[in-house]
A and B are shown apart, each in its own frame.
Chain A
Amino acid sequence: MEKVGAVLIVGAGIGGSQAALDLAESGYKAYLIESTTSIGGVMAQLDKTFPTNDCAICIVSPKLVEAGRHPNIDIKINAVIDSFSGEPGNFTANITEKTLYIDMEKCTGCGVCGQECPVEAIDVFNEGLSLKGATSVKYPQAVPLVFAIDRDYCIGCGICKGVCKAKAIDYDLEDKKSELKVGAVILSLGFDEFEPNNMKHYGYGIYDNVVTSIQFERILSASGPFSGKVLRPSDGSTPSKVAFLHCVGSRDPKFGQEYCSSVCCMYTCKEAVIAKEHMEGLEPTIFSMDIRAYGKDFDKYIERAQNEYGVRYIRSRISSITEIPETKDLKLSYEDEKGRVIQEIYNMVILGVGLNPPKDAKYIAEKFGVELNEYGFINAKPLSPVETSRPGVFVCGACSSPKDIPETVIEASGAAGKVNEILSPVRDTLVTKKEYPNEIDISGKEPRVGVFVCHCGINIGGYVDVPEVMKYARTLPNVVLADMNLYTCSADTQTLIKDKIKEFNINRVIVASCTPRTHEPLFQETIREAGLNRFLFQMTNIRDQCSWVHMHQPEEATEKAKDLVRMAVAKSRINEALETFELKVTPIALIIGGGVAGMTAALNFANQGFQAYIIEKEKQLGGFALKIYETLEGDNIQEFIQDLIKKVNSEEKIQVFLEANIEVIDGYVGNFISTVNYGPNKTSTQLDHGVVLVATGGNEYKPKEYLYGEVPNIITQQELEEKLFTSSEIQKKKSIVMIQCVGSRNDEHPYCSRTCCAEAIKNALNIKKKNPEAEVVILFRDIRTYGFKEKYYRKARENGVLFIRFDKEKPPQISKENENLKVSIESQKMGKITLNSDLIVLSSGIVAPAEGNEVLAKMVKVPLNEDKFFLEAHVKLRPVDFATEGIFLCGTAHGPATISESIAQANSAVSRATTILSKETLLIGGAVSVVDKDICTGCKICVRICPFNAIVKDEEGYAYVQEALCKGCGLCSASCPEKAITTKHFTNEQILSEIYALGGKEVI
């Protein structure tokens, strides 16, 4: 049967949007189906994201705008799935786009209809904390920016039609049915938060000042109901004592769900930190059972919250909340670790609600014929984390298990990677190429500068006098328009900028808002759509480097913003249109590391028809997984890894280099040349490739503590697992003590190794299975069985495994008397105790291969984090990309990960890489250096100084820049003794113009 080069993506949160963008950039048509009226999902509702405190809307908005404007993405909002049939490669979906009663083509998103609507309806986006018209838009930065009439509330007065200047309102507009032919499906339904209505003991819905964490997220948001001020819903006063409760609806089979919701520990911490930032003097307390900060740099975040922000953690589950009627304060009762019952008064309580399967999961599962798991999530197996029970239908994000944003983004690209495997033969069959209008020739024309100053909600406007800056901009030379916008990055402002460019004949555009590092491409794209060369855009940062860092000095911040705008105008006036050119791509991938991640990636590339090289430093493929026998969930890893190795070895398109190391990687995205030495004789070979995947993995920490290596019956979990599967030695042990966090969460390795809790529980359960009489005690700091792994923690306790918590400062002490081992420990609950043991198992963590990573990082010019794991381009939204184009990462190279997570990351990195490999050519050029031969003396200083060997001598002996290799750093310009080299877009003249503007002079 003929395959179809289109993909149906159900659910347009960050996961669905990322999958759509990847696929659209890899040559497929993507139908992005969304049940509400705009894309962005829960992430758009969040104020900030952990662990970087990035403003959620700031980082997600450019992505949504990109999805909204991508020619290969067709967004269907307010849509439901009616039916689904077919087979992998060729499915048919029938959908209904429910009427908005507003014509999307005509609606400008101006909002007059909403302002004039006499009906007040509940604002779902603001979690019921505010009201809006029956005619409304979901949120200010919504993509697509169209209004909709909510028939549940509309009384049919007809006012909106009367006031709509665009004539977009049409009460007769009917639902639209359509049939979509697609080759594959990705389900990215997201989640619904747990509703604590049945938890009467917490008084949610009864006491005004008990809110959920997602409501609190809206309270914290600058664009939320309280404009980012922390206020009590009961009286609008500012609370001082605020309590956050963990595990509301999670790890709680009685009232909620059995599993752990994975994200609440971090988001409550973030909410506490941000609340404290918004309201000085606030005293946040977090009540938690375990602190599950298992992700990359999460533990550091928790520590910062405690030490720098004074966030108080209490280990306890609140048993009840009662309201004090006069003050509306809340009395919390709990039992502390020593068993004392304590009562405390708080002004406000935030329930850290868990993540439930999406409400429509059952409906969708039935329509698509996919299985749900025992908790009602879409079933995905650990070793095929983005696959459903139905071939051709994939899944990503929180609808298969609770997870955070980066994991969702990883899976989104991972699912796109799997789609690539089946649809690659029909790539590029259904896509539309983005056409830009012809570039307006501005040469010789007087500069006409347009300045757009952003309020960024209150992010800028709350501290910098934006109208003042706008007025000032109008006084600057060549400025023909200065405007201000609530959110300059929003979809409606892009339209406005384009309109203004035409209306005012603008040929230079300036946006004064946030950082060009994230937002410059968006605005460059916008001006291209208006016919201007993208280098005619100039950005100046009045938020990250002004309003946010001078919050207590609004006047000075405003003066600074004015200076920055003046400097930008000065440069903008002499900015020039620059040309780009096409560069051929070598459609081959080089994968560094032949473990699970590297092999999974290689097979995916091969299945798509791309060649792949695997560079493995050991004598055999397999990596870390060779030493793992089973997953916590019971999958046979030895079988899996051998099967994977067999597949790789028999795949023609994959070439494996064992005992190999990379000597040098030259070139750039699309055109790398690497020198690899391999085999026992270190044979050297050169490989051409278009992308690099870093999949270098990690190692088990070799304990230096707890007498490891000195006493034979003190072993690591890995050694225990091997013994459990290959000998009967362990069956004879009577009393086994496991110690967690060995080589993790300490001064040397301050991070959590993520996998050891599950390893310990897996092995403990196995011991119990083989010898139920054996005593197993696990000494831990926090048990971090996130997600569905919680089930096994429960099972271990049910099977009699004893868990005893210790503090970091008071680790267990081991002593040896003859052949007997004694472990003494100080527990909060039980005081000082001593355990006799005949086997001590150390849960040693995962460490990065520091030396190798350092060499490789230098070679490919990518960064490492403090723990020597590779540092991705952006922790939330670019988790498998590097800042340097064409280089990606997956697996434990990124940080400790399970096999399941490594597989998802591998497919994810493949999808990201496919956005390059699937193209015949890439656009290169623009801001590069150029030599003026008339001035060049041929001294060759530039040739030596260029870090990329981009400068050579031409036949006449003059310096010559090979544009494809030039990265525009400008070292040559700054070094040329004769100043014969100009680095475009950062010319001497342009930089000096900024200096002169700051110094008070207009021109040089």
Chain B
Amino acid sequence: MSFEPRILGFLCNWCSYAGADLAGVSRIQYPPNIRVIRVMCSGRVDPEFIFKALKLGIDGVIITGCHPGDCHYIEGNYEAVKKFELVQKLLSKLNMEKRIRLEWVSASEGNRFAEVITDFTNQIKELGPSPLSGKDLDMELMEKLEALEMAAESYRLRALVGRERKITEQENVYGEKYPKEKFDNLFDAAINNEYIRNRILLSLEKNPKSVKDLATQLNIDSKEILNHILVLKGRNQVAMEDIIENQPIYLNVMER
């Protein structure tokens, strides 16, 4: 039997949901793989929703909103872009960024809705089943995805995403536009760091480890690990448990 992916769609109420309805009224056929959750605005889609869906083994997630400028909530779709970019950047670390998509479909574009869904369904079919679907779960991948989700959920990344448009497109508190390029560099570094830190946290959650253990396990330079450990210690997320053979052993002290 051919692979029939499970696809989750978030449709904004005003444009895309109406566009999907129009596809129906016009009887435009598209693959039956998509299951739709209606949200009022594409900007309502919290990155958490996408990670939760992927962790459940859903093969693809598509978000559709009003065309730029058409948003019923003025700029909600622009916020959707920012959140989507965050998720996309995170997922690219696991080569899973092609499993998600953001598209604009208006209330008068029944045809386009069907085309977009058909195209995305085909794309997911080509990618094959999610490595997190089925019975034999890739637990390592799951842990990585978990770390990505935790990064996306972190105050730091959410705050940066929430402020990005204000400080790069309008003005920051000094009345300046913060250069987009500089922001991107900072943001990309933050994404990377928060991802690794959360991987460290997850690893330490299972059992306490030394910097060396972590460096071997995560295949990352010891010095970098140490820096992350220091940050996490500063956040009161890890603590030193013991020193064994000159190696401080750290453990995760977060409440979950």
Asked whether, in the complex, the Cβ of B73 is within 8 Å of the Cβ of A863, the reply is: no
Known: A883-B14, A986-B39. A998 touches B8 (CB 8 A): yes
Asked whether, in the complex, the Cβ of A973 is within 8 Å of the Cβ of B70, the reply is: no
On chain B, the residues within 8 Å of A996 by CB distance are: 52, 56
Known: A551-B29, A560-B35. A977 touches B155 (CB 8 A): yes
Q: In this assembly, does B72 line the interface, its C-beta being within 8 Å of a C-beta of chain A?
A: yes
Q: Render B21-37 as a binary contact track against A, CB cut-off 8 A, 1 for contact.
A: 11111111110100111
Q: Render A131-151 as a binary contact track against B, CB cut-off 8 A, 1 for contact.
A: 000000000000000000000
Asked whether, in the complex, the Cβ of B39 is within 8 Å of the Cβ of A991, the reply is: yes
From the candidates B18, B23, B48, B72, name the one contacting A549 in the complex (CB within 8 A): B23
Asked whether, in the complex, the Cβ of B43 is within 8 Å of the Cβ of A544, the reply is: no
Q: In this assembly, does B107 line the interface, its C-beta being within 8 Å of a C-beta of chain A?
A: yes
Asked whether, in the complex, the Cβ of A995 is within 8 Å of the Cβ of B49, the reply is: yes
For A545, A551, A967, A998, the residue with the greatest tally of chain B CB atoms inside 10 Å of its CB is: A545
Q: Render B45-79 as a binary contact track against A, CB cut-off 8 A, 1 for contact.
A: 11011001100111000000000011111111001
A277 to chain B, nearest CB (A): 6
On chain A, the residues within 8 Å of B41 by CB distance are: 969-971
B99 to chain A, nearest CB (A): 14
Of residues 66 through 91 on chain A, the ones whose CB sits less than 8 Å from some CB of chain B are none
Asked whether, in the complex, the Cβ of A998 is within 8 Å of the Cβ of B56, the reply is: yes
Asked whether, in the complex, the Cβ of B58 is within 8 Å of the Cβ of A999, the reply is: yes
Asked whether, in the complex, the Cβ of A994 is within 8 Å of the Cβ of B25, the reply is: no
Asked whether, in the complex, the Cβ of B52 is within 8 Å of the Cβ of A947, the reply is: no
Q: In this assembly, does A810 line the interface, its C-beta being within 8 Å of a C-beta of chain B?
A: no
B85 to chain A, nearest CB (A): 14
A546 to chain B, nearest CB (A): 8
Q: In this assembly, does B166 line the interface, its C-beta being within 8 Å of a C-beta of chain A?
A: yes
Asked whether, in the complex, the Cβ of A548 is within 8 Å of the Cβ of B159, the reply is: no
Of residues 136 through 159 on chain B, the ones whose CB sits less than 8 Å from some CB of chain A are 155-156, 158-159
Asked whether, in the complex, the Cβ of B37 is within 8 Å of the Cβ of A945, the reply is: no
Q: In this assembly, does A271 line the interface, its C-beta being within 8 Å of a C-beta of chain B?
A: no
Of residues 917 through 954 on chain A, the ones whose CB sits less than 8 Å from some CB of chain B are 927, 939, 941, 944-945, 947-948
Asked whether, in the complex, the Cβ of A969 is within 8 Å of the Cβ of B48, the reply is: no
On chain B, the residues within 8 Å of A973 by CB distance are: 44, 46
Count: A-B pairs, CB below 8 Å: 172
Q: In this assembly, does A557 line the interface, its C-beta being within 8 Å of a C-beta of chain B?
A: yes
From the candidates A548, A553, A948, name the one contacting B24 in the complex (CB within 8 A): A548
On chain A, the residues within 8 Å of B159 by CB distance are: 939, 941, 977
On chain A, the residues within 8 Å of B70 by CB distance are: 863
A877 to chain B, nearest CB (A): 14
From the candidates A559, A567, A988, A998, name the one contacting B48 in the complex (CB within 8 A): A988
B167 to chain A, nearest CB (A): 10
Asked whether, in the complex, the Cβ of B30 is within 8 Å of the Cβ of A969, the reply is: no
Among A49-57, A198-206, A255-263, A321-329, the stretch in contact with B: A49-57
Asked whether, in the complex, the Cβ of B56 is within 8 Å of the Cβ of A1000, the reply is: yes
Asked whether, in the complex, the Cβ of B44 is within 8 Å of the Cβ of A516, the reply is: no
Asked whether, in the complex, the Cβ of B40 is within 8 Å of the Cβ of A863, the reply is: no
Tell me the complex Cα distance, A866–B26, Å.
18
On chain B, the residues within 8 Å of A861 by CB distance are: 72, 74
On chain A, the residues within 8 Å of B22 by CB distance are: 52
Tell me the complex Cα distance, A551–B32, Å.
10
Q: In this assembly, does B20 line the interface, its C-beta being within 8 Å of a C-beta of chain A?
A: yes
On chain B, the residues within 8 Å of A999 by CB distance are: 52-53, 56-58
Q: In this assembly, does B162 line the interface, its C-beta being within 8 Å of a C-beta of chain A?
A: yes
From the candidates A53, A545, A549, A947, name the one contacting B76 in the complex (CB within 8 A): A947
Q: In this assembly, does B6 line the interface, its C-beta being within 8 Å of a C-beta of chain A?
A: yes
Q: In this assembly, does B180 line the interface, its C-beta being within 8 Å of a C-beta of chain A?
A: no
B135 to chain A, nearest CB (A): 12
Asked whether, in the complex, the Cβ of A549 is within 8 Å of the Cβ of B28, the reply is: yes
On chain B, the residues within 8 Å of A551 by CB distance are: 27, 29
Tell me the complex Cα distance, A543–B158, Å.
37
Q: In this assembly, does A238 line the interface, its C-beta being within 8 Å of a C-beta of chain B?
A: no
Tell me the complex Cα distance, A941–B158, Å.
10
Q: In this assembly, does B98 line the interface, its C-beta being within 8 Å of a C-beta of chain A?
A: no
Q: In this assembly, does A826 line the interface, its C-beta being within 8 Å of a C-beta of chain B?
A: no
Tell me the complex Cα distance, A53–B155, Å.
48
Asked whether, in the complex, the Cβ of A974 is within 8 Å of the Cβ of B45, the reply is: yes
On chain A, the residues within 8 Å of B30 by CB distance are: 549-550
**How many residues in A have their beta carbons less than 8 Å from beta carbons of B?**
64
Q: In this assembly, does A576 line the interface, its C-beta being within 8 Å of a C-beta of chain B?
A: no
On chain B, the residues within 8 Å of A549 by CB distance are: 23-24, 27-30, 32, 114
On chain A, the residues within 8 Å of B21 by CB distance are: 515, 517, 541, 544-545
Q: In this assembly, does A552 line the interface, its C-beta being within 8 Å of a C-beta of chain B?
A: yes
Q: In this assembly, does A8 line the interface, its C-beta being within 8 Å of a C-beta of chain B?
A: no
A94 to chain B, nearest CB (A): 44
On chain A, the residues within 8 Å of B163 by CB distance are: 941, 944
Closest to B54 in A: A999
Closest to A937 in B: B155
Q: In this assembly, does A992 line the interface, its C-beta being within 8 Å of a C-beta of chain B?
A: yes
Closest to A304 in B: B26
Tell me the complex Cα distance, A947–B23, Å.
29
B121 to chain A, nearest CB (A): 12
Q: In this assembly, does A1001 line the interface, its C-beta being within 8 Å of a C-beta of chain B?
A: yes
On chain B, the residues within 8 Å of A54 by CB distance are: 25
Asked whether, in the complex, the Cβ of B44 is within 8 Å of the Cβ of A563, the reply is: no
Closest to B17 in A: A517
Q: In this assembly, does A564 line the interface, its C-beta being within 8 Å of a C-beta of chain B?
A: yes
On chain B, the residues within 8 Å of A53 by CB distance are: 25-26
Known: A988-B46, A996-B56, A999-B56. A548 touches B37 (CB 8 A): no
Q: In this assembly, does B215 line the interface, its C-beta being within 8 Å of a C-beta of chain A?
A: no
B174 to chain A, nearest CB (A): 16
Asked whether, in the complex, the Cβ of A978 is within 8 Å of the Cβ of B155, the reply is: yes
Known: A517-B18, A973-B46. A945 touches B162 (CB 8 A): yes
Known: A969-B76, A975-B162, A977-B159. A995 touches B37 (CB 8 A): yes
Tell me the complex Cα distance, A560–B74, Å.
33
Tell me the complex Cα distance, A884–B158, Å.
31
A515 to chain B, nearest CB (A): 5
From the candidates A550, A552, A947, A974, name the one contacting B46 in the complex (CB within 8 A): A974
On chain A, the residues within 8 Å of B52 by CB distance are: 992, 995-996, 999
On chain B, the residues within 8 Å of A947 by CB distance are: 71, 73-76
Tell me the complex Cα distance, A557–B32, Å.
6
Tell me the complex Cα distance, A140–B11, Å.
33
Q: In this assembly, does A968 line the interface, its C-beta being within 8 Å of a C-beta of chain B?
A: yes
Tell me the complex Cα distance, A661–B228, Å.
57
Closest to A983 in B: B44
From the candidates A871, A944, A974, A977, name the one contacting B44 in the complex (CB within 8 A): A974
Closest to B79 in A: A971
On chain A, the residues within 8 Å of B8 by CB distance are: 995, 998
Q: In this assembly, does B38 line the interface, its C-beta being within 8 Å of a C-beta of chain A?
A: yes
From the candidates A567, A927, A975, A995, name the one contacting B79 in the complex (CB within 8 A): A975
On chain B, the residues within 8 Å of A580 by CB distance are: none
Q: In this assembly, does A865 line the interface, its C-beta being within 8 Å of a C-beta of chain B?
A: yes
On chain B, the residues within 8 Å of A434 by CB distance are: none
Q: In this assembly, does A556 line the interface, its C-beta being within 8 Å of a C-beta of chain B?
A: yes
Subset of 9 A-B contacts with CB under 8 Å: A53-B25, A541-B21, A970-B39, A970-B40, A974-B83, A975-B43, A986-B44, A991-B46, A998-B53
Known A54-B25, A1001-B56; 12 more pairs at CB < 8 Å: A55-B25, A517-B18, A544-B24, A546-B24, A944-B166, A970-B43, A971-B41, A975-B79, A991-B39, A991-B49, A995-B53, A995-B58
A-B complex: 7 closest residue pairs judged by Cβ atoms: A999-B56, A544-B24, A970-B44, A941-B162, A977-B158, A548-B24, A947-B74
